[in-house]
Amino acid sequence: MNQITNEGFILAMSAIGAGLAVISGIGPGIGQGIAAGYGASAVGRNPGARGEVVSTMLLGQAVAETTGLYGLVIALILLFANPLIGKL
């Protein structure tokens, strides 16, 4: 019977955690799609306010994107610079 080592267990759990962290990119993708749709709708109703609508929409999308980037950074840390291995 094969035994799981502490290091192997930490690496396996880190891989699962990295996968879950990358899934956090779904939320910003949905939010940005909704924001772009509403922005296009607003510009279609009032083309004169295009500059204001687009700049506000892009600011909101940039803020939403940071959530996905945080998840990506956490995943990369867990996969390549695993701080938990040093705690053994």
Q: What pLDDT tens digit does each residue of the chain (88 aa) get?
A: 688 888 889 899 999 999 999 998 898 889 889 989 999 999 999 999 999 999 999 998 888 888 889 999 999 998 999 887 877 7
Superfamily designation of domain 6-83: F1F0 ATP synthase subunit C (1.20.20.10)
- Is the distance from CB of 7 to CB of 88 less than 8 angstroms? yes
Q: Where are the domains of the chain?
A: 6-83
End-to-end CA distance of the chain: 23
- Is the distance from CB of 14 to CB of 53 less than 8 angstroms? no
